[in-house]
Chain A
Amino acid sequence: MRTTILRTTLFAAAISAATTGWAETTVLTIESWRSDDQAIWDEKIIPVFEKQFPEIDVQFKPTTPTEYNAALNARLAGGTAGDIITCRPFDNALAMYEAGNLADIKSLEGLANFSDVAKAAWSTDNSDATFCVPMASVIHGFMYNKDAFKELGLAVPKTEADFYAVLDAIKADGNYIPMAMGTKDAWEAATMGYTNVGPAYWGGEEGRMALINGTAKFTDEGFVEGFKQMAKWTPYLGSGFQAQGYTDSQNLFTLGRAAIYPTGSWEITGFQENAEFELGAFAPPAKDASSDCYISDHTDIGIGMNANTKNKEAALTFLEWTSSAEFASLLTNAAPGFFSLANHNFEVENELAQEFMAMRSECKATIRVAHQILGRGEPALSNELWTLTANVINGTMTAEAAAQGAQDNLDAWFKP
């Protein structure tokens, strides 16, 4: 496999060299929202690529995450966007493809290295076109303060009952806030709450596909139960959690004031830098001892090509390289917690990342429930879930009403 890739990329490079008359360096600019990763790209990833392809100069030019979508769309419309575009999953990238801004790259040989599930996030509904190379997924779960667990004699919970027993024990002890989460920024509630523990109740992929096929509704028991779990979390959050933002939660946990942090693998780097205690991770609890556990192994980042780039060959060469084992290993180890979606075998060195990786074999995997197809209403269902979940945790809405709200959103436009 590896040799074929190399051969094709070399071939592509040769073509580009031939057409440009050689000697000229092609500059490729990467658009991304991951300003966190600037150093990783500059120091670890790009040098490796440029060593193999000295005629291509790659530049990683991230935009602030909150402005990325708007800024990128403006640049695409104005014709000043970069050659390589980092893709958000599903509808966001799909819209860019449909608007003619992302090129179809289905012919890329390297795409064979990815599972259909991974490719689904960046393909049209009928899989006719694929417009981004899957890059990485993030795994949801919980991180915990190992020192605190040791101190209180607690074991990692496996089931819902264990989970609440652990929370009760932390609460009774009183030294730690049981769970570091707030509802101020709303997205944590939906992302680290509802779509984190919920799949155990709606049966992961099965439940999600049932929604898409129209055989299930948000008002069905499993989806309502997910919201009910959220309401159950309220007493374990710190006082004033309504005004607790994402940064607050991060710091509350890394400063050792909270014992458990519902989160995902993307926090690994930042937390290992800041926490002075030993970190551990556990998967979302199963419903009971006889049930499976489920994780959201969410296809989060892809990488595609600006359809109007003037450096098509170089861009394709680069994309082909991003599907290689070399890139997979570089990325996963440089940015632990962002797991390559490729089927290559490579070593993950970071221990905490290994703990998250291990969840893949222990639990059944799914993705965030509202991202594929279901999110095309007004407003996008995943945004709506932010608000609904936050409301449930804040106690301003019942689980049933929230479920009804989500279903109403679907009913307004969705035809299975």
Chain B
Amino acid sequence: MSHSIPSGSRWRWYIVFFVAPATLIYTVFAIYPIVESLRLSLFAERDAVEAFVGIDNYKKLFTEPYWADQFWNAFKNNVWLFVLHMLIQNPVALALAAILSIPNLRGAATYRTIFFLPTLLSVVVIGFIWQLILSPLWGITPAFMNFMGVGKFFAPWLGLESSALTAVTLISIWQYVGIPMMLFYAALLNIPEETLEAARIDGLNGWSIFWKVKLPLILPTLGLVGILTYIGNFTASFDLIYTLQGGLAGPNGSTDVMGTFMFRTFFGFQAQLGDVNMGATVASSLFFIILIGVSVYLFGVQRRLQRYQA
């Protein structure tokens, strides 16, 4: 892992120089405020005073039906969100990156920019435009589907409990596919030309070079994208769903995810007052869920991938 020069007993200032600035800013402006908030999960308001209640809030979250139902509903929806991103977003991103990395492809830079454009947009406009496109009223999708002869399959997807979450997820994939694409692309371009040349001399064609040479070489990036998808699925999905489906994540809570649940609880929504204690409890639980995923990755998947590669 580290190719370090053997350390003497002397204090190596350059290490401080490298890690201290980031650690300092991060500790003061990220960790401190977050810890200040998360510790509230151990308190509750009793008779207008904040009182230490231990893990009572966690008990409440997992045993009281009102909380537990929301938690597991949001969790279940997050799992679906994750599965769809893994099954659709990342393969599409990989395919696009693979095509774009073909040497001397004409217009590669233009295509790459086009594919990344949706990622640059703010959710306000993405929410507006996709609601407009998918709307049963303004005719864009219905007209297109009629033209393709499949008009009878049109449904107001964003408004149906059965399809809203999937529709929202597909919009999210449309928006974010550029990020894994860039990561794959950077990894694919990093493969030394000699390796590929050697494969060609061995008589492999483009297809099998991709599967047998390139893919194994970029496995660590696949793992990285997987864990980033896992994290983003819990933390970044909030904005889009809030914009598209509102704070209650309708219809009937069917698009509620951990992010919307957490922010709704913490900050309140409309007539619902914010509850910082329960909000912090949800956030802390989410923190552990993500931590477990990241640990599995760091100590399980990642090591195996590197061993495989070596």
**How far is the CB of A386 from the nearest CB of chain B, in Å?**
6
Q: Kindly identify which residue among B250, B269, B274 contacts A184, using a CB–CB cutoff of 8 Å.
A: B250
| A residues less than 8 Å from B155 (CB atoms) | 240
Interface pick from B130-138, B206-214, B301-309: B130-138
> Does A98 reach chain B (CB closer than 8 Å)?
yes
| B residues less than 8 Å from A383 (CB atoms) | 248, 269-272
Per-residue interface assignment for chain A, residues 170 to 197, with 1 indicating a CB less than 8 Å from any chain B CB and 0 otherwise: 0000000000001111110000000000
A244 and B272 contact, Cβ closer than 8 Å, known pairs A69-B267, A387-B250:
no
> Does B14 reach chain A (CB closer than 8 Å)?
no
User: Does the CB pair B271–A183 fall under 8 Å?
Assistant: no
- Bound Cα distance A183, B157 (Å): 13
User: Does the CB pair B273–A387 fall under 8 Å?
Assistant: no
User: Does the CB pair A186–B246 fall under 8 Å?
Assistant: yes
Q: Kindly identify which residue among A69, A70, A243, A375 contacts B157, using a CB–CB cutoff of 8 Å.
A: A243
Per-residue interface assignment for chain B, residues 148 to 161, with 1 indicating a CB less than 8 Å from any chain A CB and 0 otherwise: 00000001111111
Q: Kindly identify which residue among A98, A182, A386 contacts B48, using a CB–CB cutoff of 8 Å.
A: A98
| A residues less than 8 Å from B138 (CB atoms) | 248
A386 and B158 contact, Cβ closer than 8 Å, known pairs A240-B136, A240-B137, A252-B137:
no
> Does A371 reach chain B (CB closer than 8 Å)?
yes
Tell me the chain A residues, 245-289 only, with Cβ under 8 Å from chain B: 245, 248, 252
| A residues less than 8 Å from B268 (CB atoms) | 69-70, 73
**How far is the CB of B12 from the nearest CB of chain A, in Å?**
40
User: Does the CB pair A380–B160 fall under 8 Å?
Assistant: no
Per-residue interface assignment for chain B, residues 246 to 285, with 1 indicating a CB less than 8 Å from any chain A CB and 0 otherwise: 1110111100000000000001111111100000000000
| B residues less than 8 Å from A412 (CB atoms) | 66
**How far is the CB of A414 from the nearest CB of chain B, in Å?**
14
User: Does the CB pair A382–B271 fall under 8 Å?
Assistant: yes
Interface secondary structure of A, over-half rule: helix
User: Does the CB pair B135–A240 fall under 8 Å?
Assistant: yes
When C-beta atoms are compared, the residue in chain B nearest to A73 turns out to be B274
| A residues less than 8 Å from B269 (CB atoms) | 69, 383
- Using a Cβ–Cβ cut-off of 8 Å, how many residues does chain B contribute to the interface with A? 32
User: Does the CB pair A379–B272 fall under 8 Å?
Assistant: yes
| B residues less than 8 Å from A378 (CB atoms) | 66
User: Does the CB pair B267–A248 fall under 8 Å?
Assistant: no
| A residues less than 8 Å from B272 (CB atoms) | 379-380, 383
Q: Kindly identify which residue among B158, B242, B250, B271 contacts A186, using a CB–CB cutoff of 8 Å.
A: B250
A92 and B271 contact, Cβ closer than 8 Å, known pairs A243-B134, A244-B136:
yes
**How far is the CB of B267 from the nearest CB of chain A, in Å?**
4
> Does A39 reach chain B (CB closer than 8 Å)?
no
Per-residue interface assignment for chain A, residues 159 to 178, with 1 indicating a CB less than 8 Å from any chain B CB and 0 otherwise: 00000000000000000000
The tally of CB-CB contacts under 8 A between chains A and B is 104
- Bound Cα distance A288, B19 (Å): 77
> Does A350 reach chain B (CB closer than 8 Å)?
no
- Bound Cα distance A123, B267 (Å): 23
**How far is the CB of B149 from the nearest CB of chain A, in Å?**
19
A242 and B248 contact, Cβ closer than 8 Å, known pairs A252-B137, A380-B270:
no
| A residues less than 8 Å from B273 (CB atoms) | 91-92, 95, 380
**How far is the CB of B133 from the nearest CB of chain A, in Å?**
11
> Does A391 reach chain B (CB closer than 8 Å)?
yes
- Bound Cα distance A281, B12 (Å): 79
| B residues less than 8 Å from A113 (CB atoms) | none
- Bound Cα distance A184, B254 (Å): 12
Q: Kindly identify which residue among A240, A371, A386 contacts B156, using a CB–CB cutoff of 8 Å.
A: A240
Q: Which of B134, B158, B252, B273 has the most CB of A within 10 A?
A: B273
- Bound Cα distance A171, B250 (Å): 28
User: Does the CB pair A184–B158 fall under 8 Å?
Assistant: yes
> Does A390 reach chain B (CB closer than 8 Å)?
yes
Tell me the chain A residues, 359-416 only, with Cβ under 8 Å from chain B: 370-371, 375, 378-383, 386-387, 390-391, 394, 396, 412
| B residues less than 8 Å from A391 (CB atoms) | 251-252
When C-beta atoms are compared, the residue in chain B nearest to A89 turns out to be B271
Q: Kindly identify which residue among B131, B156, B247, B274 contacts A242, using a CB–CB cutoff of 8 Å.
A: B156
| A residues less than 8 Å from B134 (CB atoms) | 243
User: Does the CB pair A248–B246 fall under 8 Å?
Assistant: no
> Does A215 reach chain B (CB closer than 8 Å)?
no
- Bound Cα distance A184, B159 (Å): 5
**How far is the CB of A175 from the nearest CB of chain B, in Å?**
16
Q: Kindly identify which residue among B48, B136, B252, B271 contacts A243, using a CB–CB cutoff of 8 Å.
A: B136
User: Does the CB pair B267–A70 fall under 8 Å?
Assistant: yes
Q: Kindly identify which residue among A66, A186, A244 contacts B135, using a CB–CB cutoff of 8 Å.
A: A244
User: Does the CB pair A396–B252 fall under 8 Å?
Assistant: yes
When C-beta atoms are compared, the residue in chain A nearest to B142 turns out to be A240
- Bound Cα distance A98, B242 (Å): 29
A243 and B159 contact, Cβ closer than 8 Å, known pairs A73-B267, A186-B248, A390-B252:
yes
> Does A149 reach chain B (CB closer than 8 Å)?
no
User: Does the CB pair A387–B253 fall under 8 Å?
Assistant: yes
User: Does the CB pair A248–B159 fall under 8 Å?
Assistant: no
| A residues less than 8 Å from B66 (CB atoms) | 378-379, 412
User: Does the CB pair B274–A241 fall under 8 Å?
Assistant: no
When C-beta atoms are compared, the residue in chain B nearest to A376 turns out to be B273
| B residues less than 8 Å from A396 (CB atoms) | 161, 251-252
> Does A238 reach chain B (CB closer than 8 Å)?
yes
A243 and B156 contact, Cβ closer than 8 Å, known pairs A184-B250, A387-B248, A396-B252:
yes
Chain B residues near A (Cβ < 8 Å)? 48, 66, 131, 134-138, 155-161, 242, 245-248, 250-253, 267-274
Q: Which 5 A-B pairs have the closest CB atoms?
A: A240-B136, A242-B159, A243-B156, A243-B159, A70-B267
Chain A residues near B (Cβ < 8 Å)? 66, 69-70, 73, 91-92, 95, 98, 182-187, 238-245, 248, 252, 370-371, 375, 378-383, 386-387, 390-391, 394, 396, 412
